[in-house]
């Protein structure tokens, strides 16, 4: 039975990887592997990516207009930026997910040699490819240098510190046990401008690469860095982003993801649940909205059918007993839209194959209300948050009017 943090840490990694090289064979083979919290943060990062990609595939497939539309690919390709001497992220990702493959990059040749040995020891050389990158070149070199390359995600655990003084100041503010002493090399721990500057460079490169990667992600070690990175995304007009928090013991890390496609994540994956005013000010807007109704499930569903049937240009593309997927090509329900003629709006909507909005509507009987039910609106696809918010508000308001007998649906 493992007792020390190091033994527990090795057991966790052994369960996730086929074999582990001796800690003495390479400088900081698993970086601060003796720090149980650091090892679990790595695993948590992979687990969150799994959830993010699973929902992305589900929403991609849900938004398809027909069963003949292409589904999200099963084979997932990722890039690990700065894989280090261990290649721990590709090893964890591939061991846990048989359909994953990685391109792992690093600027340090010695680290790549040890990482390659570790990959071969785990018999994953056919799914993990090592690539040396230029410290003065692009961060996303596998995408930049191959114009035909497409990836599902990137991940990165960037150097936290601007210099050794920054690292020293951070360490002096903590009560470090011997097992938590930083053992990484200079290239693993220090970068010009610190982690927020490094991720800022990633954002600038991603603006050019855009949809060639579905999700760009990075871990962050400082709350101030998270604030800086979200501000950098907003400056680039990136609204499709997600934030999560990884907590192990007394150590907190954050992961941010951003995308240029129109697949939207549920709040359970992409949005922190927190009362902190600072975090509240930077997390993305809600993609999951809930409206309560004082009626039975059947009454709510009948009111919903009436309301949806009255919205020009919207249609249900699939349904089951308690949920349905609704597509709307444009806003036809606002006061401004209703000023247009019915013929013009219907003609415009019917001739458009583009879905301005795809929304999953789900009836929830156990919503916490003593006498009533709820309708959950989940944004599945789209670029215009105002369209999603306006749609949910219109449908909920009309349904409540219908249920109160005050609104006749035409």
Q: Each residue of 242-256: pLDDT tens digit?
A: 999 999 888 899 999
- φ, ψ of residue 263 to 5 degrees: the values are -80, 130
Per-residue pLDDT of the chain in tens (410 residues, 90 and over written 9): 555 555 555 555 666 554 555 333 433 444 444 456 777 889 999 999 999 999 999 999 988 876 556 778 889 999 999 999 999 999 999 999 999 999 999 999 999 999 999 999 999 999 999 999 999 999 999 999 999 999 999 999 998 545 445 544 444 444 444 444 444 454 544 455 789 999 999 999 999 999 999 999 999 999 999 999 999 999 999 999 999 999 988 889 999 999 999 999 999 999 998 878 888 899 999 999 999 999 999 999 999 999 999 999 899 998 998 999 999 989 998 877 766 645 554 444 444 445 689 999 999 986 555 668 999 999 999 999 999 999 999 999 999 999 988 555 44
What are 136-153's pLDDT values in tens digits?
999 999 999 999 999 999
Strand, helix or coil for residue 301: helix
Domains in the chain, CATH or no CATH each: 5-280 (3.40.50.150), 288-403 (3.30.310.80)
pLDDT digits (tens, 9 = 90+) for 89-106: 999 999 999 999 999 999
Phi/psi at 154 (5° precision): -120, 155
The DSSP element (H or E) to which 201 belongs, if any, is helix 194-209
Q: Which helix (H) or strand (E) holds 288?
A: strand 288-293
Gyration radius (Cα) of the chain, Å: 24
**Distance from CA of residue 295 to its chain's centroid?**
36
What is the reported pTM? Answer: 0.85
CA distance 187 to 110: 11
- Dihedral angle sign, alpha carbons of residues 349, 353, 358, 362: positive
């Amino acid at each position: 039975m493992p007792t020390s943090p190091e033994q527990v840490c090795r057991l966790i990694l052994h369960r996730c990887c086929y074999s582990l090289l001796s800690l003495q064979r390479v400088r900081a083979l698993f970086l601060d592997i003796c720090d149980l919290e650091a090892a679990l943060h790595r695993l948590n990062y992979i687990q969150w990516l799994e959830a993010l990609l699973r929902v992305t595939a589900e929403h991609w497939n849900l938004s398809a207009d027909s069963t003949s539309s292409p589904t999200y690919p099963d084979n997932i390709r990722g890039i690990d930026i700065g894989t280090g001497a261990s290649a721990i992220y590709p090893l964890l990702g591939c061991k846990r997910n048989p359909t994953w493959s990685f391109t792992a990059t690093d600027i340090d040749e010695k680290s790549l040699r040890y990482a390659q040995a570790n990959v071969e020891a785990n018999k994953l050389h056919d799914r993990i490819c090592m690539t040396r990158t230029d410290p003065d070149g692009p961060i996303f070199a596998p995408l930049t240098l191959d114009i035909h390359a497409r990836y599902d995600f990137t991940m990165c655990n960037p150097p936290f510190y601007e210099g050794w003084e920054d690292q020293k100041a951070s360490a002096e503010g903590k009560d470090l046990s011997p097992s938590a002493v930083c053992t990484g090399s200079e290239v693993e721990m220090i970068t010009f401008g610190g982690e927020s500057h490094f991720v800022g460079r990633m954002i600038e490169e991603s603006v050019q690469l855009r949809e060639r990667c579905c999700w760009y992600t990075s871990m962050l070690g400082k709350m101030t860095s998270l604030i800086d990175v979200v501000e950098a995304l907003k400056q680039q007009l990136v609204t499709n982003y997600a934030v999560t928090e990884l907590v192990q013991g007394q150590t907190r890390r954050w992961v941010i993801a951003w995308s240029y496609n129109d697949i939207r994540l549920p709040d359970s994956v992409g949005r922190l649940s927190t009362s902190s005013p600072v975090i509240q000010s930077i997390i993305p807007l809600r993609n999951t909205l809930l409206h309560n109704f004082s009626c039975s499930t059947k009454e709510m569903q009948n009111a919903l059918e009436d309301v949806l049937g009255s919205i020009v240009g919207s249609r249900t593309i699939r349904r089951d007993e308690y949920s349905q997927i609704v597509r709307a090509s444009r806003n036809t329900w606002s006061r401004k839209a209703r000023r247009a003629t019915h013929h013009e709006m219907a003609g415009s909507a019917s001739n458009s194959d583009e879905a301005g909005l795809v929304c999953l509507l789900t009836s929830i009987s156990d919503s916490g209300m003593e006498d009533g039910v709820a309708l959950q609106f989940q944004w599945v696809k789209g670029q215009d948050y105002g369209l999603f918010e306006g749609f949910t508000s219109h449908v909920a308001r009309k349904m409540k009017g219908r249920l109160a007998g005050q609104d006749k649906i035409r």
